Amino acid sequence: MLSEILATDKYWTNDLFPEEVFREFVTAYSQPYRSYHNLKHIQQVLDIVNEMRSLGNNLVAIQLAAWFHDVIYDPQAKDNEEKSAAYARTTLTRINVSQETIEKVEKMILMTKQHQDLSGDIDMQIFLDADLSILGSSPLEYQAYARAIRQEYAWVSEKEYRLKRKQVLENFLSRERIYSTDYLFKKLEMRSRENIQAEIKFLS
């Protein structure tokens, strides 16, 4: 856990948010039921955002969205995104972040409900692509990710989980592109589709 905190900490400065907020993140993302949606995931998202930092218009908003997007996470709830967006608004208002940035962060978080942006907003695309970058990881890392997601939904029966998970994965495959940015499309699109197809085969 310490290594994950330190790895994530490299993306935190007092210019982004104060230490008390960072501590709140560490507490939230360290909850024991978070097999995947934890600090390691946030670090991975921030790593990819950092790779694409020169492409965006509002890097601060993208980074804040990365930090806040899963801060409220209950696998049995259907309003995690709304609650995370509300938490972001309350916290960012408290630390005097501009209204424009707060609204952008909220929109980014809410868009993770469907993980698809058709607006052409490059900042939104960078954030959503970074959040989905795990799909294009190595086969072994992807398998570990798939197991972690299953652990978070341990309360769901095997039959129902396989059915619902396949629906989610097939939705990604049906898209013309999983990644909106050319950067991740070229880097991860093909491997993402291969990983997803392999998981669907495993679930079938």
Instruction: Provide DSSP, 120-144.
Output: --HHHHHHHHHHTGGGGS-HHHHHH
pLDDT of residue 2: 46
* Residues 111-155: tens digit of each pLDDT: 999 888 878 899 999 999 999 999 999 999 999 999 999 999 999
Model pTM score: 0.92
CB contact set of 13 (below 8 Å; sequence gap of 6+): none
Domain boundaries of the chain, sorted by first residue = 1-131, 135-204
